Amino acid sequence: MPSLALSGWLLAGLPLLLLGWFRPLPMALLGGAAALVLCACGLRRLPGIATPHRWATPATLAVALGSGVFNGLLHGEQLIVRRDPATYAQYAVWLARHGSLPVPLGNFGGPDPALRFDSMGFYSADGGIIPQFMAGPPMIHAVGYWLGGVPGLLLVPPVLGALAVLTVAGTAARLAGARWAPLAALVFAVSLPILYTSRTTFSEIPSLILLFGGMNLLLDARARLRAALPGAVFPPAALAGLPFGLALLVRIDGLRDVLPVLAFAGGLIALHRIPRARPLPEGRMGVPLLTGLLAGGAWGFTGGYVLARPYLEYLSGSLVPLLGICAVVVVLTAAGAAFAPRIAARARRLPKARWLPDAAAALVVLVMAGFAVRPWVQTVRRDAVTPEDRLTADFIEKTQLANGLVPDKSRLYYEHSLDWVFWYVGIPAVVLATVAAAVLARRLARGREFGWLLPLAVIGWTTATTLWRPAITPDHPFASRRLVPVVIPGLVLLAVWGLRWLSRRLARTRRFAGRPGRVRTAVAAGALLLAVPPAITSIGTAFTPVNRGEAAAVAGLCRAIPANGSVLIAERVTGDRLTQVVRGQCGFPTARVADAPGSDVPRRADVLRLAGAVRRTGRVPVLLAAEPEQLMAYGPATRVMSLHTRQDERSLVDPPNGTWSLDIDVWMTVLT
């Protein structure tokens, strides 16, 4: 239900946003109706639970509820734009208050070369301001603002985090059995990246809900088909494809995550076209799955092209190769489906590859072993070429100095990506997940465990590509978000399945046969090995909320600005952080004054000229800066923000175990 509800909301939200009608009433009517219809369709004629367990559902619900309450009490308040969460938050605030894009520039008395309207996370394009990122997460987070203002907005991530726990537990119940769902929920919920992204406005948790919700829907569609329940095949399978496609509207990286779904749908179509004495019923799901995937993907591509084009252009270096890979997969999938009967006829004439199951299992182990030895054979570097690269390199160098490391701004630390997984999931879980993936790959190569084919493909493909190139600034916990949509939940699912497989093998050994108490003890010990390591890593930061006080500080700043003021920000850092905050959350026309060459402040002549232009519009020019000295040339300064809070640690070579202090001051001068 979480994935279907989000899908309905996004399906209705994008057209309304494109029309400029993303308002509470239209979204309540259309978005709410779409969510209810999809949920009703998804819940019709559900297959029965093969192995019900009396305490599994209450225990899973308790873990999800505890996760939501815990993260709700300790949620963050990232509203001042320093990194991605505040960009998403301000994007959501603008949508909730105005319901349209682009953000207008505002009237500052006409164009001027010293006027800048862009800021961190917000591009100046097409005569307006375009927020960075895809529109899906802000459309979801806007609900909280409509219900409770800024406090309501800040509580949406914990709710989504609780729904993500339910979603992952649902996948575990379908693939490992209902009694294993609470353990999967617990191990997933205590992992630090899940806590981190469940407390503030990120895109990873909604993406996870859509991806694993799509898997759940597809598993239900297959179970319904296998049980020969009444009703057409098309709607359930199409519903399964829809969340996969809509994942692109939440994160453009979702295109990589759903490539296996595209290939899988093509494979099902090919299976359906191969003549055989006993046709596989799953082949009938191929066309509807592909239809749902393409429909959701069309929403994602439309949202990206119309609402996030500058962002996609910025990502072109990695997005264009990804689109090329996608095109190759489309061609190969179409060719495989078209020539499936001929390929199958020729394959029957070939000798059986008896070595294939063992080779598949060995490949899984070799890939993980390769990532384990990678730090000893490779150091990942990148030479700064673009201005964005140089900013990242400078950031890494400053972080290295703060961590007591030798400064080397070309380092990316990607070779340690498997170490990140060890930190956040634990070595026992990674080892057990690797064994489980090897066993499942071997069984799939033998034609068994068909239900695991798509989940294992998505988990394996995304884990390998993410670990090879995380494509993110490597400081933690920020970099840990890359592991959230697929890697961490996928490894947790595999580890739980692996524990079940191991317990069954133990029960058949001479020492454990006929002694269920010993088996239960072994399972309990295994459960502790899965849950304790990630919990230990999380303890250092789990009980410390970050950026608390930002909501009150921003509210105080808004109250301090005169009602008829137009804001000019006369200092670089303040301009990066607060331009969209003052424009969107406070509701004042806001622009930056371009800095003088080699300086963080503008020329005095530029400021005075722009202030005069503001006066001619009938409004009062208001100047903001970080220090009073930066405003002394224009009049007396008043401090309108004095924030003392905690921020995320920036750790490069160790798991984060604390927080850093953060102080933000803002001074104001009113030019009467």
What is the dihedral sign for C-alpha 25, 30, 34, 37?
positive
Region for residue 278 given its phi and psi (left: phi exceeds 0; alpha: psi -120 to 50; beta: otherwise): beta
Question: What average pLDDT score do residues 407-418 get?
Answer: 94
Cα angle 315-321-327, degrees, rounded to a multiple of 5: 125
Sign of CA dihedral 475, 478, 482, 486: positive
pLDDT score at 464: 97
Please state, in angstroms and rounded to a whole number, the distance separating the CA atoms of residues 117 and 420.
Answer: 38
Q: Are 562 and 569 in contact (CB under 8 A)?
A: no
Examine the pLDDT at 621 and tell me if it is beyond 90: yes
- Outline where 176-285 has alpha helix (H): 181-190, 192-197, 204-226, 234-250, 254-257, 259-273
Q: Dihedral, CA atoms, 553, 554, 555, 559, nearest 10 degrees? A: 100
Q: Indicate if the pLDDT at residue 75 is higher than 60.
A: yes
Instruction: Round to whole Å and give the CA distance between 608 and 454.
Output: 62
Which one-letter amino acid corresponds to residue 299? W
- From CA 81, how far away is CA 29, in angstroms rounded? 32
User: What would the pLDDT profile of 634-670 be if each residue is shown by its tens digit?
Assistant: 999 999 999 999 999 999 999 999 999 999 999 999 9
Q: Which residue, 592, 596, 598, is CA-closest to 570?
A: 592
Beta partners for 592?
Answer: 116, 569
Structure confidence by residue, pLDDT tens digits, 79-132: 999 999 999 999 999 999 999 999 999 999 999 999 999 999 999 988 899 999
Is the pLDDT at 232 greater than 80? The verdict is: no
d(CA 605, CA 610): 9
Q: What is the pLDDT of residues 339-375, one digit of tens each?
A: 888 887 787 777 777 889 999 999 999 999 999 999 9
Q: What is the mean pLDDT of residues 133-153?
A: 97
**In whole angstroms, how large is the CA radius of gyration of the chain?**
27
Q: Tell me: the pLDDT tens digits for 483-541?
A: 999 999 999 999 999 999 999 888 887 777 767 778 888 889 999 999 999 999 999 99
- What is the chain's mean pLDDT, rounded? 93
Pull the structure tokens for residue 458: 């998505």
The confidence score (pLDDT) of residue 600 equals: 93
Spatial strand order in the sheet of 590-593: 115-116, 590-593, 565-569, 620-625, 659-670, 638-648
Contacts of 360 (CB under 8 A, 6+ apart): 438, 441, 442, 444, 445
Sign of CA dihedral 368, 370, 372, 374: negative
Angstrom distance (rounded) from CA 489 to CA 216: 13
Query: Is the per-residue pLDDT at 231 higher than 70?
Result: no
Helix (H, G, I), strand (E, B) or coil at 115: strand
* Alpha carbon 607 to its chain's center: 40
Please give the structure tokens belonging to residue 410. Answer: 């070309």
Amino acid 338: pLDDT: 85
51 to 139, 174, 177, 179, 502: CA distances (angstroms): 38, 10, 7, 8, 19
At 278, the pLDDT band (50, 70, 90 cuts) reads low
Query: Is the confidence at residue 277, as pLDDT, over 60?
Result: no
- Which stretch of 76-80, 270-274, 514-518 has the lowest confidence by average pLDDT? 514-518
Count of CB atoms situated within 10 Å of the CB of 405:
14
Return the pLDDT at 672: 81
Residue 229, pLDDT > 70, answer: no
Query: Over 410-436, what HEC string results?
Result: CECCHHHHHHHHHHHHCHHHHHHHHHH
Residue 477: closest CA among 154, 195, 155, 69: 195
Least Cα distance to 649 among 559, 537, 490 occurs for: 537
Nearest in space to 405 (alpha carbons), one of 132, 184, 96, 654: 654
Sign of the C-alpha dihedral computed for residues 42, 45, 48 and 53 taken in this order: positive
Nearest-5° Cα angle at 77, 537 to 16: 115
- Mean pLDDT on 330-339: 87
Side chain identity at 368, as an amino acid letter? M
The strand pair at 115-116 and 590-593 is best described as: antiparallel
In angstroms, the CA 108 to CA 610 distance is 7
pLDDT above 70: residue 230: no
* pLDDT surpasses 60 at 50: no
* Beta-carbon-side half-sphere exposure of residue 82 (alpha carbons within 13 Å): 13
Q: What are phi and psi of 280, to 5 degrees?
A: -75, 125
Angstrom distance (rounded) from CA 238 to CA 257:
18
Q: Residue 306 has what pLDDT? A: 94
Report CA-CA distances (Å) from 558 to 259, 359, 389.
45, 63, 34
- Percent of the chain whose predicted confidence (pLDDT) is above 70: 98
Q: How far apart are CA 671 and CA 636, in angstroms?
A: 9
> What is the C-alpha end-to-end distance of the chain, expressed in Å?
56
Q: What is the pLDDT of residues 427-449, one digit of tens each?
A: 999 999 999 999 999 999 998 99
pLDDT category at 312 given cuts 50, 70, 90 is very high
Which of 74, 37, 72, 214 has its CA nearest to residue 144?
72
